[in-house]
Structure 1
Amino acid sequence: MAVEIGPKAATAAYRKALERISGGGSDAATAMPSFGELVKSQLQDAVQAGRLAEQTSADAMVGKADLQQVVEAVTAAELGLSTVTAVRDRVVAAYQEIMRMPI
């Protein structure tokens, strides 16, 4: 299974994120997911991308995948991990800023 990287994939990912935020768009009474749920979902996606990268690398070792598929899978995993890391860094920075506020 190849991972697509490009404008079309970015648009699809953006649309998927909007659907998650809006609750699918079909039912207005559906509650928005919490920030924690969004982070958990993104973390699970990053873990899944990492597993796919590992599997694709193993497939390449036995000749079932080519180098381009490996590079695409590893790049997708790296992008997911860097996104989760950036969000974590922002949350920690926000927490530290709140802790510095005088009461």
Structure 2
Amino acid sequence: MIISSASSNSTAAAAYAKTQSALETGLSVDDSDDLSLSSTDKASFGETLEAAVEGAVTSSKEAEVKAASGLKGNGNLTDIVTSISQAQMVLQTASAVRDKVIQSYQDIMRMTI
């Protein structure tokens, strides 16, 4: 099955919007199937980016706290490994987004007027 890039982009955008609304409402992605946000309830790009950065910082701090407690001999090893893996995944995602933003900026700068 061949999917055109336009339908692929709209599908990805719809999935992103569904996930974002689930995060904002505290529901799981499956529970938010029937929800539709009005234009006043949608977060701006800046607000969404700010929330993502705050989530990344929180995830890193939690991983540091759990790693420190593990070094002291306290804590559950599974929780420690899970939180560190989650923080690593968040860092990799942030790096990928940063690379895409830089690439987009460079593409825009190469455009002729």
Fraction of identical pairs, as percent? 35
Which blocks of at least 5 consecutive residues in structure 1 are unaligned? Answer: 1-13
Amino acid at match of 2:105: Y
Matches of 2:106 and 2:37, distance apart in 1 = 37
* Rounded Cα–Cα distance in structure 1 between residues aligned with 2:18 and 2:74: 30
TM-score (norm 1): 0.71
Q: Which runs of 5+ in 2 are unaligned?
A: 1-15, 26-34
Pair member with larger Rg: 2
Counterpart-to-counterpart distance in 2, 1:49 and 1:55:
10
TM-score using structure 2 length: 0.65
**Count of aligned pairs between the two proteins:** 89
Q: Which residue of 2 aligns with 1:73?
A: 83
- CA displacement, residues 26-57 of structure 1 (integer Å, 9 cap, x when unaligned): 75142422222222211111110100000001
In structure 2, the partner of 1:57 is: 67
Aligned to 2:56: 46
The alignment yields a C-alpha RMSD, in angstroms, of: 2.6
Distance 2:71 2:18 in 1: 33
